[in-house]
Amino acid sequence: MRTAFAETLFEMAQRDPRIVLITGDLGFGVVTPFMDKLPLQFVNAGVAEQNMTGMAAGMALSGKIVFTYSIANFPVLRCLEQIRNDLCYHNANVRVVSVGAGLAYGSLGVSHHATEDIAITRALPNMLVLAPGDPIETRLATRALIDYQGPAYLRIGRAGEPTVHTTEPDFQIGKAIKVREGGDLTLIATGSQLHGTVNAAEILAASGIEARVLSMHTVKPLDNDAVLRAAAETGVIFTVEEHSIVGGLGGAVAEVLLESGQRPRVFKRIGLQDSFSSIVGDQDYLRAQYNIDTAGIVKTVQETLALSAR
């Protein structure tokens, strides 16, 4: 996803001098072409994310389309006050890009885990929250952000995420993508959990359970129609995210369901519990430990369905 974002932004910036990339002293393996070829559209703010965000706000209010770029939770948590007051309050055209979402930087510990960022950013007025599911969606999301008016948060993986889509889907901000048909239940995934969720659906299908899979690449504004349609047509909904279950995708979907009165027969959030990780390991290892890998998704679905049938 990281490479897809960097390559797409570079392509767009070569055609549009309004586009500016500000990095927090990192990412040079993928942003070097941008830095070398477009030096007047690139700034290294150093390890000073608050300053980076303030600079971005000033540029945006002067007519630029600005992307700030840093790893994991640093571009969000370290400069939350600047995002709230400088970007959101002024509805500035700044796109806050977090690379290494969820547990992607797992071996570096909790300081590098981005597991509360969706909850925080979706609570900010005027903020758009995007979490594409694979490199193709990342390219499409980056392109869509050029014309979008207002602040946005783009949450992407680190590197090596598999491509899920075989063809380019119809990508619209605020509209979920149906990746797989199914009438028995619905799996709603966001971000890099899409691949594992699709794999889980295939395993469930082998046991006679047909799962619809939705890629909810836009967490705010949520595609309420897709959620309500899934509840009405399948009656069972699981949300899947590499994020705390508090305030993330699962919470957003639950809000829509309860307030609409369209309550599914079964609803379950699959994600990280309300605690910090006490385990060190790479992303795949941590996903398995916290039951948010493919096997964990299948296990949770089967156990939840068994309990509901009693």
CB 247 within 8 Å of CB 116: yes
Q: Are residues 65 and 192 in the same domain?
A: no
**pLDDT for the residue 26:** 86
Q: Are residues 32 and 103 in the same domain?
A: yes
CATH number at residue 257: 3.40.50.920
Q: Are residues 222 and 110 in the same domain?
A: no
Number of domains in the chain: 2
Q: What is the per-residue pLDDT across 132-191, written as a single tens digit (0 to 9) for each? A: 999 999 999 999 999 999 999 999 998 889 999 999 999 999 999 999 999 999 999 999
Rounded to whole angstroms, how far apart are CA atoms 4 and 21?
15
Q: Are residues 15 and 113 in the same domain?
A: yes
Q: Are residues 31 and 140 in the same domain?
A: yes
166 occurs within a structural domain: no
Q: Are residues 152 and 185 in the same domain?
A: no
Q: Are residues 126 and 186 in the same domain?
A: no
For the whole model, what pTM was predicted? 0.97
Domain residue limits at 282: 177-308
Q: Is the pLDDT of residue 110 over 80?
A: yes
Residue by residue, DSSP assigns 6-72 as: HHHHHHHHHH-TTEEEEESS--HHHHHHHHHH-GGGEEE--S-HHHHHHHHHHHHTTT-EEEEEEET
Give the residue from 156, 187, 212 where a domain finishes. 156
168 occurs within a structural domain: no
Rounded to whole angstroms, how far apart are CA atoms 78 and 123?
16
Q: What is the per-residue pLDDT across 235-284, written as a single tens digit (0 to 9) for each? A: 999 999 999 999 999 999 999 999 998 889 999 999 999 999 989 999 99
